[in-house]
Structure 1
Amino acid sequence: MHRFPSPLLDGYRNFMDGRYIEERERYRALAENGQKPQILLIACCDSRAAPEIIFGSRPGELFVMRNVANMIPPYEPDGHFHATSAALEYAVQSLRVKDIVVMGHGRCGGIQAALDPAAEPLSPGDFIGRWMSLLKPAAEQIQSNDVMTASERQTALERVSIRNSIRNLRTFPCVSILEERGKLQVHGAWFDISNGELWIMDAKTGDFRRPDLEEVVSEPEQDVVAPPDA
């Protein structure tokens, strides 16, 4: 008999008995008035690096886009299907997000595949292989560095991939124009699954550093719920 996965039903039961009761009015307001998240977070599909869990976000706070290795392709207005570009377009043009965060993570399977020249396609379509070819030039350079260990090469490409995605983000006119006008900011981040560390990319140098959470001053919470045409 075809059965819905029981872990999902158990999780849903816990959600309805806990989180939903606490956030009931917020969910109703979001349903009636529409969403108005301020942040687009581009992350990997990896089940170990869920942005909503890492950042403890509430319903309606994050517009999350996830794909293999948290990558953004360059702007290509052709006749093909572009799921990632469509989500980006909607977040920037319709939702009017104020910040875009590209978040990579440690031990990324997509990055590992990009660094393995002997990796066999998982299917005749080789969708992952073709997708990860977006990083081929950088991967080849890092592969050839025999001074680095395998784990160092992995981390290096994970972080280079974030910078590469940010560069591709800026090929989209809707991103570059709003960023130039000061209405949009683009950020990079890297999350270490093994110890929970978050590293933030310096916008000027491209280097990654751990934030001093004691120096962070929380801004007053704004009402993220607004009418759809706001």
Structure 2
Amino acid sequence: MKSFPTKLLNGYREFIDGRFQNERENIRDLADKGQHPSTMIIACCDSRAAPEMIFSANPGELFVVRNVANLVPQYAPDGRHHSTSAAIEFAVKGLGVSNIVVMGHGRCGGIQAALSAADGNKLDEGDFIGKWMSQLGPVAEQVAAAGIMTEGERQTALERVGVRQSIKSLRTFPYISALAEEGKLNLHGAWFDISSAELWVMDGETGDFTRPETN
């Protein structure tokens, strides 16, 4: 059996000697009193787009679930395993978050796969990613068919459309729809450019993405 990755052990030592020492009281309070984050973030698994880094979050501030291409499936209590839906249910019903943010990002491999499939390059029928990304099937086909757009423009377009579709899927959860209508739960969309570190925020009314003021 191979040894535990050295880089991870070195990182842990740095954490113990540095951040843990500086935040010891806060971390112990979280252990004793539990977590009370106000925001849930649904992000991609991509190692380059970590929400905690992007938003400079401390322990206990964000409840994060990550999956391929930050997708939210529609509400479907069919008895099957739904990890993202389970996390959403816990965040809303168990933790009482007041904000849910769906954050996409540039150069997303899952989105690239969806576009490739829409162009006729089908993934294997037994492939998990292929089945997961099929949630974007119809819109991916529309974006892929936009020949006037460059490959990069189609990629960015579907990354952002995917965020809008996930927001729409969130509203199929009855308790989310009810809390949103009561003004007790806010749904947000965002898109992060890995190369430039630009954050774009979705307008809840129009669906357009704009850059917020950072000064």
d(CA) in 2 for partners of 1:61 and 1:166? 21
Task: Tell me the residue number matched to 2:133.
Answer: 132
The letter of the residue matching 2:2 is: H
Secondary structure of the 1:66 match is strand
The letter of the residue matching 2:113 is: A
The letter of the residue matching 1:80 is: R
Task: Tell me the residue number matched to 2:35.
Answer: 35
The letter of the residue matching 2:112 is: Q
Task: Tell me the residue number matched to 1:73.
Answer: 73
The letter of the residue matching 2:55 is: F
Secondary structure of the 1:140 match is helix
Which residues of 2 match residues 1-230 of structure 1 at below 5 A?
A: 1-117=1-117, 118-121=121-124, 125-214=126-215
1:88-135 deviation digits (Å, cap 9, x = unpaired)? 0000001000100000000000000000021543xx631000000000
d(CA) in 2 for partners of 1:116 and 1:19? 42
Shift, 1:213, TM fit: 1.7
Secondary structure of the 2:101 match is strand
d(CA) in 1 for partners of 2:58 and 2:129? 32
d(CA) in 2 for partners of 1:170 and 1:10? 43
Unaligned runs of 5+ in 2: none
d(CA) in 2 for partners of 1:149 and 1:71? 24
The letter of the residue matching 1:157 is: L
d(CA) in 2 for partners of 1:112 and 1:40? 25
The letter of the residue matching 1:95 is: L
d(CA) in 2 for partners of 1:31 and 1:47? 26
Percent identical: 63
Shift, 1:162, TM fit: 0.1
Equivalent residue pairs, number: 212
Unaligned runs of 5+ in 1: 215-230
d(CA) in 1 for partners of 2:3 and 2:176? 43
What is the TM-score when the length of structure 2 is the normalising length? Answer: 0.97
The letter of the residue matching 2:60 is: G
d(CA) in 2 for partners of 1:91 and 1:125? 31
d(CA) in 1 for partners of 2:44 and 2:122? 20
The letter of the residue matching 1:167 is: K
What is the TM-score when the length of structure 1 is the normalising length? Answer: 0.91
d(CA) in 1 for partners of 2:213 and 2:32? 38
